[in-house]
Amino acid sequence: MSNTEQRRSFLKVGSIAAAFALATERLHNHAHAQTPSASGDAASAADSTPDADYDGFSRFKPSRGNDPDSDYYLGKLVPGFRKPAEGPAPFEAPDVPKLPYKMDNGVKIFELVPMAVQQEFHPGVKMNVYGFNESMPGPTIEVTQGDRVRIVVTNELPEDTFVHWHGFELPVQYDGAATLTQNPIKPGQTMVFEFDIHEEGTFFYHSHVAMQEAFGQVGWFIVQPKKIFDPPVDRDFGLIFQNFHIPPTHTVSDSWAMDWNWHTINGKSGPYTTPLVCKHGERVRVRLLNFSPMQHHPIHLHGHTFWVTGHEGARIPKTAWVPRNNELVGVAQSSSFEFIANNPGDWIFHCHMIHHMMNHMVRQVGPRIRDDASVDQYLTNLRSRPPVDASHQESFATPGYPQKMQGMEMSEDFMQAIWNRKEVRGMRANYAMAVKGLMTVVRVLPEDLYDLVMHSDQQVEKGAVFAEIVRRFGDPGAYQAAPKMKM
Ligand SMILES: [Cu+2]
């Protein structure tokens, strides 16, 4: 298929009106003019740009580089586009607000309110959990190494609480380790914590009452280094992974449970998790925090190899960075990794624990027990049995369980809420069926498509951006668009 033909078929799939086509063309050309390698029909342009090649590693196409001992092997020290003089890229935890502060005599003052909140795990599915300042996880505290902070904690929970500043080397009376170091903060009471921050890196705050932790009481506490981390990144994302056991028809977690049926990333459960959107060629940092009560999460990113650059204690010396596709994050551990987004597409980014890849949405792994048959009978007759279609088997549905929202049972309101977010524009029409529980998506978009998705108000048909990426970087002749969804 010629390029022109491919383009036409894209427009057909995309139904992105002529206006959009022109706009894309314009954005595309613009991107070419500014950063010849940073866009589109990229491979050849990228090859001729010195910036794109680092000892055989290209920031614009999948590549490993020549020598495992090279600084640029797998993109290890390939810098982002951001200039160090611009300071660190702003930390961004999708769906979680930042906690504002006031200055008083050089002290940054934050007001933190532990409270019961309603958190919408899925569209319309509001769970009663504990958080801070109307949010679960709590709002992000972001400061700079060397700051002095005063955190005014006012307890609006119906019970005593303690707040711990996880990882900070601070005066012991501010440690928040329950009655070991302080008296409880009674309901309605305020306690002031004030300390200097000499560390840098990924920290968090949380209640130091076990059951309150299980109810969701945690938030980021990010300390940007005085001297910006090298190499500079263009994106700095943060994701908090949590598990809850919320029985059918309930909205309150059973914090005593040993098993978990609801899984959230930044307070939302796949497919309601918000994709991480970045531009082709950028250097991206992701910080993960596993704040599940009891379960570890092996976190896997598709289509890229990342370097693990730090944990919650500190950044790791570069000589000890490890390249991975999957990083196990233990309970109350964080892990930071960085990669060059050199492979355009929509890449699933998920916990690899099977039970965490669904909210008891059984269809992805098949129903546990087939209708009218014991497992033995089923296995005996395997060859002669017709394939199982679990999508419409009411007998598998447990009232109130999230499997009700699986597949075709996703309601119109549900799907509207999913598609109302700009971050998902142009993704495949049925993408939501693949993103469940502890899953989200990393979208690596050429600059023009990034602008279309994140900054334009154009109509973008479902699947159009994905099809365009396949057209430019993949094998469009072998690509099939998603079937039209009913809604
Ligand atoms: Cu997991």
Strand 276-279 versus strand 439-445 pairing type: parallel
Task: Quote the pLDDT of residue 414.
Answer: 86
Q: How many angstroms separate the alpha carbon of residue 8 from the centre of ligand 1?
A: 42
Q: How many angstroms separate the alpha carbon of residue 93 from the centre of ligand 1?
A: 19
Q: What share of the chain is helix, strand, coil (3-state, %, to 5)?
A: 25, 30, 45
Integer CA distances (angstroms), 387 to 228, 283, 376, 403, in order: 56, 44, 16, 20
Q: How many angstroms separate the alpha carbon of residue 353 from the centre of ligand 1?
A: 5
Q: How many angstroms separate the alpha carbon of residue 343 from the centre of ligand 1?
A: 25
Q: Which of these, 486, 355, 296, 334, lies nearest to 410 by C-alpha position?
A: 486
Mean pLDDT of the chain: 84
Could you give the CA distance from residue 213 to residue 163 in angstroms, rounded to a whole number?
10
Of 86-100, 161-175, 239-253, 346-360, the one with minimum mean pLDDT is 346-360
Q: Is residue 471 part of a domain?
A: no
Q: How many angstroms separate the alpha carbon of residue 326 from the centre of ligand 1?
A: 12
Task: Quote the pLDDT of residue 358.
Answer: 72
Could you give the CA distance from residue 462 to residue 89 in angstroms, rounded to a whole number?
30
Q: Which residues contact 278 (CB under 8 A, 6 or more apart)?
A: 234, 235, 284, 341, 442, 443, 444, 445, 450
Report pLDDT digits (tens) over 290-335: 999 888 999 999 999 999 999 999 999 999 999 999 999 999 999 9
Q: How many angstroms separate the alpha carbon of residue 303 from the centre of ligand 1?
A: 20
Q: How many angstroms separate the alpha carbon of residue 224 from the centre of ligand 1?
A: 28
Integer CA distances (angstroms), 24 to 41, 162, 313, 445, 460, in order: 13, 53, 44, 13, 11
The DSSP call for residue 239 is E
Task: Quote the pLDDT of residue 379.
Answer: 66
Q: How many angstroms separate the alpha carbon of residue 359 from the centre of ligand 1?
A: 11
Q: Is residue 472 part of a domain?
A: no
With a cut of 60, say whether residue 372 has pLDDT above it.
no
Could you give the CA distance from residue 247 to residue 260 in angstroms, rounded to a whole number?
9
CB atoms within 10 A of CB 444: 27
Q: Is residue 380 part of a domain?
A: no
Helix axes 447-455 and 18-34, enclosed angle (nearest 10): 130
Q: How many angstroms separate the alpha carbon of residue 298 from the centre of ligand 1?
A: 6
Instruction: State the pLDDT confidence band at 246, using cuts at 50, 70 and 90.
Output: confident
- Total number of domains in the chain: 1
Which residues of 250-305 form beta strands (DSSP E)? 262-265, 276-279, 283-290, 297-301
List the domain range (segments joined by +) for residue 94: 89-356
With a cut of 90, say whether residue 114 has pLDDT above it.
yes
Q: How many angstroms separate the alpha carbon of residue 454 from the centre of ligand 1?
A: 29
Q: Is residue 436 part of a domain?
A: no
Q: Is residue 140 part of a domain?
A: yes
Q: Is residue 47 part of a domain?
A: no
Q: How many angstroms separate the alpha carbon of residue 292 from the centre of ligand 1?
A: 9
Of 5-19, 111-125, 164-178, 374-388, the one with minimum mean pLDDT is 5-19
Q: How many angstroms separate the alpha carbon of residue 253 from the centre of ligand 1?
A: 18
Q: Is residue 336 part of a domain?
A: yes
Q: How many angstroms separate the alpha carbon of residue 182 from the centre of ligand 1?
A: 34
Could you give the CA distance from residue 327 to residue 300 in angstroms, rounded to a whole number?
7
CATH number of the domain bearing residue 264: 2.60.40.420
User: How large is the average pLDDT for residues 445-461?
Assistant: 96
Integer CA distances (angstroms), 385 to 50, 329, 395, in order: 58, 41, 19
Evaluate whether 447 touches 279 at the Cβ level (below 8 Å).
yes
Integer CA distances (angstroms), 109 to 143, 195, 267, in order: 11, 11, 25
Q: How many angstroms separate the alpha carbon of residue 258 from the centre of ligand 1?
A: 14
Evaluate whether 247 touches 128 at the Cβ level (below 8 Å).
no
Report pLDDT digits (tens) over 40-67: 344 444 444 545 789 999 999 999 998 9
Instruction: State the pLDDT confidence band at 258, using cuts at 50, 70 and 90.
Output: confident
Q: How many angstroms separate the alpha carbon of residue 482 from the centre of ligand 1?
A: 28
Could you give the CA distance from residue 293 to residue 35 in angstroms, rounded to a whole number?
46
Could you give the CA distance from residue 287 to residue 284 in angstroms, rounded to a whole number?
10
Q: How many angstroms separate the alpha carbon of residue 203 from the centre of ligand 1?
A: 20
Report pLDDT digits (tens) over 378-427: 667 666 655 555 444 444 454 445 544 433 356 788 889 999 999 999 99
Of 2-11, 190-199, 382-391, 450-459, the one with minimum mean pLDDT is 2-11
With a cut of 60, say whether residue 190 has pLDDT above it.
yes
CB atoms within 10 A of CB 415: 18
Q: Is residue 68 part of a domain?
A: no
Task: Quote the pLDDT of residue 330.
Answer: 94
Q: How many angstroms separate the alpha carbon of residue 376 from the centre of ligand 1?
A: 30
